[in-house]
């Protein structure tokens, strides 16, 4: 490792910066939220579903029947709602990303200032310290024991020492020491253009939910083409010269097969989730993180900055026997003066023992790292002799079983943080450093447990989410803090005693809740071990020692005040630093995913009964019973409006694998039942050849009534477990159809005729039978797949 060159490079001057900006050599990055407004509009307007509906709309309008073209409003509604919600999400993400993103320190004209990443120009000099991300590619100019972790890029587990002239790549981060590097690649030429811009990108990448919906849509597309073609052929053969009737019947058969609302509500639910979390100062940097929230069953939490508040305060100094306070205070002041980027512990010490005004000459330094748990410096002492002062974990520096080690362990068991300060046998840059350490004193620091931590951990326990506290601190101290929270087990394991065998390691991690003295690579291994046991793991942290685990976790959650590297790799950033926000985050994920699965049942049922009904009509070669307007009003209160309201409801059920399978369990039998009931009703009330338009309209009305009764009961089943507002939703839907069928104005508007009481009775009875069969299918699926069936649920308070 190379000591800092004392000739300070001033960096670029104002004229040089302006020249590079004029040449376009600026670190321009893509939009923070990934898509521009124009991209969002195009993505929501020019969709496959809108294209199908638009083609059918043109055909219907060509017949001159404007009322039957009412389904065309879906094109406007789908596009408008999707655009509005995505733009809201984009605005939220853009504003939060500005707050949450790293601001590198750029030295110009000899002065270092924090600037936005976009303000970096080619050849800028960028300062780095522990936890800082390398934001553009460059070459090291100054290095004061600088070490950079490149494992996210290369997989190399050990930090790389960097000397002047060494190359650094964006995406890596400094773990110890300080230095500066000159930007050699900016904008699209730098790896940062892909890495850091992706951090806040609003995209719906592949996930189990989207894959499941795409599978459903793929099957529907294959069914739609042959059934649609057969329907057109049959309807044209029946219509004779009345091509208008054939076109309307064809549209009436095809429109309901298109699950137009499923994709819309999925996009809206995700976007609304981003907005709602944004209101709680929670930045969702990847949209699929919403789905990850719903599936989390293990939360791995770092102690410092997560369960305890950021920063520490000085408590007391406990001198070793025979040591005078002045000697220790002088050593602490010299250590503080030699550390240009002190960590939280050293900041607390320096707040009381100010850096020496006359610092000793430094021969060597050893910056703090989470792996070795100590830092120090070798000085030229007042007597001209070399002396090495070190400060760090007592259980690392003190001799095992010594009085100092025992006293430190006793203090730590009360939840306080303890540091040992002493003189080392070897220079701090010696390979065998520190060697035997002569204890001078124990420095006791206070760390305050977050007042809302206990409630947050209690929420996870109630929701069946396991908590693992994995900290680099002393195991006794970590155990004391977790015991005070009253949620996790009393037993804290020192990670240095964990077995090396991967299988035994994974089993220990599985059955243990609290770990101390965990290294960064052990944190990463713990996350991997839990994932191998089938868990969906969320990792929370704020320090550079958490970066690797955050990156590998299914859901990385960083604190807003954490190091730039942790914020860059996390999928979610809690900008207000409140661990208590995490229960809201998990609850929002469950609400989104649980409700999408719920409403998917409605849309899949509609698609199945529509396709099956069209197929039955083709096989029996009879006129299609409905016009497009009848399909439109059926969707209003059995699917559209109820699905939208159900998608917004609280839902605390943890998401499980098998989305498509569970949706098919109800969607297929319910769709078959509705289609069968509808078609049997149609055959029973269908007038003979030569019947007039009025008789055909009465048969259509009776058949429609039967289908609506059965479809409304599907809604009643999907809405369970009931709460008062869900019961009201089902009742209001039923009353709305009662009004449509009984009010002369709506009957005339929607082309209905209830004049044949026998046909209407047949339709209503068939619908009631269908409702009973759907109820039996719901209970039967519960028994067959061993899923509990809850009919009524007490009011659940939204978190």
Q: Which residues are catalytic?
A: 302
DSSP structure string for 552-593: HSSEEEEETTS-HHHHHH-SEEETT--TTHHHHHHHHHHHHH
CA distances from 156 to 151, 172, 194, 405, 715 (A): 5, 11, 21, 34, 54
**Cα(306)–Cα(559) distance, integer angstroms:** 8
Residue 786: left if φ>0, alpha if ψ -120 to 50, beta else—which one?
Answer: left
Q: Taking every pair of C-alpha atoms in the chain, what is the biggest distance, in angstroms?
A: 120
Going by DSSP bridges, is the β-strand pair 105-108/167-168 parallel, antiparallel, or unpaired? unpaired
* Number of other residues whose CB lies within 10 A of the CB of residue 331: 24
Spatial contact of 487 and 459, defined as CB atoms under 8 Å apart: no
Return the DSSP state at 72.
Answer: G
What the block records as the tokens of 550 is 């955050």
Nearest to 422 by CA among 337, 327, 313, 517: 327
Orientation of helix 659-685 relative to helix 693-718, angle to 10°: 150
**Cα(382)–Cα(395) distance, integer angstroms:** 30
**Cα(47)–Cα(614) distance, integer angstroms:** 24
Q: Residue 139 forms beta bridges with which residues?
A: 167, 182
CA distances from 129 to 147, 201, 367 (A): 9, 27, 10
H-helix or E-strand containing 529? helix 520-532
Spatial contact of 237 and 323, defined as CB atoms under 8 Å apart: no
* Residue whose entry in the numeric block shows the structure tokens 């789908």: 78
Nearest to 554 by CA among 575, 534, 574: 534
**Cα(250)–Cα(231) distance, integer angstroms:** 6
Q: Is the dihedral of CA 740, 743, 749, 755 positive or negative?
A: positive
**Cα(375)–Cα(364) distance, integer angstroms:** 11
* Number of other residues whose CB lies within 10 A of the CB of residue 378: 25
H-helix or E-strand containing 105? strand 105-108
Q: Hey, which bits of 223-353 come out as E strands?
A: 282-284, 298-301, 313-319
**Cα(732)–Cα(637) distance, integer angstroms:** 9
Nearest to 720 by CA among 634, 598, 591: 598
CA distances from 121 to 10, 45, 129, 313, 492 (A): 15, 38, 20, 40, 49
What three-state secondary structure class fits 433?
Answer: coil
Spatial contact of 548 and 520, defined as CB atoms under 8 Å apart: yes
Nearest to 146 by CA among 337, 340, 12, 332: 340
DSSP structure string for 268-284: HHHHHHHHHHHTTTEEE
Outline where 354-441 has alpha helix (H).
394-397, 403-412
**Cα(562)–Cα(310) distance, integer angstroms:** 9
What the block records as the tokens of 598 is 């719920």
Spatial contact of 468 and 437, defined as CB atoms under 8 Å apart: no
Q: What are phi and psi of 448, to 5 degrees?
A: -100, 125
């Amino acid at each position: 490792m190379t000591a800092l060159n004392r000739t300070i490079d001033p960096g670029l001057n104002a004229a040089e910066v302006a020249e590079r900006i004029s040449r376009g050599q600026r670190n321009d990055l893509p939009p923070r939220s990934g898509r521009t407004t124009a991209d969002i509009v195009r993505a929501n307007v020019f969709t496959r579903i809108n294209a199908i509906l638009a083609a059918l709309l043109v055909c219907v309008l060509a017949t001159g029947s404007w009322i039957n073209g009412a389904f065309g409003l879906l094109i406007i509604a789908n596009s408008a709602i999707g655009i509005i919600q995505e733009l809201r999400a984009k605005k939220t993400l853009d504003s939060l990303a500005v707050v949450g993103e790293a601001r590198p320190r750029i030295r110009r004209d000899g002065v270092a200032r924090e600037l936005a990443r976009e303000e970096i120009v080619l050849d800028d000099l960028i300062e780095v310290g522990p936890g800082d991300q390398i934001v553009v590619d460059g070459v090291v100019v100054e290095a004061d024991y600088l070490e950079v972790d490149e494992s996210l890029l290369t997989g190399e587990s050990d930090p790389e020492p960097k000397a002047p002239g060494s190359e650094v790549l964006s995406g890596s981060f400094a773990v110890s020491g300080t230095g500066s590097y000159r930007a050699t690649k900016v904008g699209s030429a730098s790896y940062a253009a892909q890495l850091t811009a992706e951090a806040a990108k609003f995209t719906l990448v592949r996930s189990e939910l989207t894959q499941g919906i795409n599978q459903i849509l793929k099957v529907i597309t294959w069914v739609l083409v042959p059934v649609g073609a057969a329907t057109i052929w049959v309807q044209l053969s029946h219509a004779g010269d009345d091509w208008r009737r054939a076109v309307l019947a064809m549209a009436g058969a095809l429109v309901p097969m298109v699950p137009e609302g499923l994709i819309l509500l999925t996009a809206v639910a995700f976007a609304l989730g981003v907005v709602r979390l944004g209101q709680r100062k929670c930045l969702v940097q990847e949209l699929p993180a919403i789905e990850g929230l719903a599936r989390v069953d293990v939360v791995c939490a770092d102690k410092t900055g997560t369960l305890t508040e950021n920063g520490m305060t000085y408590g007391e100094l406990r001198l070793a026997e025979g040591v005078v306070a002045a000697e220790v205070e002088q050593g602490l002041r010299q250590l503080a003066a030699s550390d240009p980027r002190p960590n939280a512990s050293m900041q607390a010490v320096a707040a009381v023992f100010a850096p020496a005004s006359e610092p000793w000459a430094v021969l060597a330094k050893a910056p703090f790292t989470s792996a070795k748990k100590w830092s120090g410096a070798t000085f030229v002492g007042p007597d001209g002799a070399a002396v090495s002062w070190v400060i760090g974990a007592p259980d690392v520096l003190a001799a095992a079983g010594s009085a100092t080690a025992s006293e430190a362990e006793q203090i730590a068991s009360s939840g306080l943080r303890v540091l040992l300060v002493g003189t080392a046998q070897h220079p701090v840059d010696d390979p065998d450093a520190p060697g035997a350490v002569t204890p001078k004193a124990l420095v006791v620091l206070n760390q305050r447990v977050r007042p809302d931590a206990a409630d947050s951990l209690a929420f996870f326990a109630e929701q069946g989410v396991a908590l693992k506290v994995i900290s680099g601190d002393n195991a006794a101290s970590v155990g004391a803090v977790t015991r005070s929270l009253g949620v996790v087990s009393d037993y804290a394991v020192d990670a240095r005693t964990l077995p090396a065998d991967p299988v035994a390691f994974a089993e220990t991690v599985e059955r243990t809740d609290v770990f101390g003295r965990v290294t960064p690579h052990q944190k990463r291994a713990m996350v991997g071990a839990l994932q191998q046991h089938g868990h969906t793991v969320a990792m929370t942290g704020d320090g550079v020692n958490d970066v690797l685990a955050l990156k590998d976790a299914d859901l990385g959650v960083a604190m807003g005040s954490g190091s730039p590297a942790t914020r860059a790799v996390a999928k979610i950033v809690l900008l207000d630093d409140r661990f208590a926000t995490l229960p809201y985050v998990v609850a929002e994920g469950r609400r989104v995913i649980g409700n999408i699965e719920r409403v998917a049942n409605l849309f899949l049922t509609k698609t199945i009964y529509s396709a099956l009904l069209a197929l039955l009509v083709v096989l029996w070669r009879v006129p299609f019973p409905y016009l497009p307007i009848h399909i439109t009003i059926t969707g209003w209160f059995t699917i559209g409006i109820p699905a939208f309201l159900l998608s917004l409801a609280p839902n605390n059920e943890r998401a499980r694998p098998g989305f498509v399978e569970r949706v098919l369990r109800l969607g297929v039998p319910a769709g078959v039942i509705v289609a069968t009931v509808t078609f049997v009703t149609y055959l029973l009330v269908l007038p003979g050849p030569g019947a007039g338009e009025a008789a055909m309209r009465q048969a259509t009305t009776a058949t429609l009534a039967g289908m609506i009764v059965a479809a409304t009961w599907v809604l009643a089943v999907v809405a369970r477990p009931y709460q008062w507002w869900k019961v009201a939703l089902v009742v209001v839907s039923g009353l709305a159809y009662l009004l449509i069928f009984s009010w002369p104005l709506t009957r005339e508007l929607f082309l209905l005729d209830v004049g044949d009481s026998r046909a209407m009775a047949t339709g209503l009875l068939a619908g009631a039978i269908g409702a009973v069969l759907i109820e039996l299918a719901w209970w039967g699926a519960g028994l067959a797949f061993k899923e509990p069936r809850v009919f009524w649920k007490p009011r659940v308070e939204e978190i």
